[in-house]
């Protein structure tokens, strides 16, 4: 592909409808999580722990047009998508993702669509609140979502992201190479809440972790709740 074509593509926003079946993946993800959460019949206090967009009247608009569109247009992610967009149905080398503050892992089916196939998620889960019904159910919901989208190569770990993740990976992740540490094509943190009332994993915590575990050619994505305020 010519440099002029690449430059032109990077200047144009990615729209999920450019990719056959991607909107369906996104909507199925949204409805799967929403329906599961609705069945929990959470109290108002427990509701504060999960993404509020799920109980909004504008759920689809928020998920598709804000969160997901912003995620796909985050510059390093956008560059990767544009590099494979004309050949999306073919197989690629194994692509590995580390998701810090993974929660329900709602971005994983979208990344799976773009040929990322192995995932590690780390989240505090019930370490934030051992009595909260939603937090108790989050790991189960994340695994059910992965099953729904045939994401077989995965490890979802309850832990503090600032702890020694290398030892955790060595225990829980079959393919982890502890000699190099740098295993991941993507290290991301999206809308995570490291502590009560926080707006996500702070950059000064995220960057050293990401730098330790990401491949030299990898993609770092730190999204604290509003892509208009995040680095692009």
Closest to 23 (Cα-Cα) out of 84, 59, 69:
69
- Give the bridge partners for 221, in sequence order: 188
Is the residue at 232 inside a domain?
no
Provide the number of structural domains found in the chain. Answer: 1
- pLDDT in single tens digits along all 232 residues of the chain: 444 444 444 568 888 999 999 999 999 999 998 888 888 777 766 665 555 556 566 788 888 888 888 889 888 888 888 877 655 555 556 689 999 989 899 999 999 998 898 999 999 888 887 877 778 888 999 999 999 999 999 999 999 988 888 888 888 888 777 766 778 999 999 866 544 444 467 888 899 999 999 998 899 998 755 544 344 4
Is the residue at 139 inside a domain?
yes
Is the residue at 230 inside a domain?
no
Is the residue at 83 inside a domain?
yes
Report d(CA 35, CA 67) in Å as an integer: 19
Report d(CA 111, CA 97) in Å as an integer: 9
Is the residue at 13 inside a domain?
yes
Is the residue at 229 inside a domain?
no
Length of the chain: 232
DSSP 176: -
Is the residue at 24 inside a domain?
yes
* Domain encompassing residue 48: 3-223
Is the residue at 7 inside a domain?
yes
Instruction: Give the domain CATH number at 70.
Output: 3.40.50.150
Question: Do 94 and 36 contact (CB within 8 A), yes or no?
Answer: no
State the burial class of residue 165 (Cβ atoms within 10 Å of its Cβ: 0-12, 13-18, 19+).
Answer: buried
Question: Do 107 and 195 contact (CB within 8 A), yes or no?
Answer: no
This prediction's pTM: 0.85
């Amino acid at each position: 592909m010519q440099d002029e074509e690449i430059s032109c593509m990077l200047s144009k926003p990615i729209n999920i409808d450019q990719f056959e079946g991607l909107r369906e993946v996104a909507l199925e993800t949204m409805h799967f999580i929403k329906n599961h959460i609705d069945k929990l019949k959470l109290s108002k206090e427990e509701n504060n722990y999960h993404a509020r967009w799920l109980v909004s009247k504008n759920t689809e608009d928020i998920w598709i047009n804000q969160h997901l569109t912003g995620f796909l247009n985050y510059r390093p992610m956008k560059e990767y998508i544009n590099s494979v967009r004309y050949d999306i149905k073919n197989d690629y080398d194994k692509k590995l993702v580390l998701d810090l503050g993974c929660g329900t892992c709602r971005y994983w089916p979208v990344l799976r669509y773009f040929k990322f196939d192995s995932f590690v998620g780390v989240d505090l889960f019930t370490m934030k609140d051992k009595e909260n019904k939603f937090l108790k159910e989050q790991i189960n919901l994340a695994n059910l979502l992965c099953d729904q989208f045939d994401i077989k190569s995965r490890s979802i770990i309850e832990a503090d992201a600032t702890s020694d993740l290398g030892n955790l990976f060595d225990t829980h992740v079959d393919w982890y190479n502890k000699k190099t540490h740098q295993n991941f094509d993507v290290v991301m943190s999206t809308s995570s809440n490291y502590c009560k009332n926080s707006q996500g994993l702070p950059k000064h915590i995220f960057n050293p972790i990401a730098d330790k575990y990401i491949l030299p050619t990898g993609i770092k994505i730190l999204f604290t709740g509003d892509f208009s305020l995040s680095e692009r």
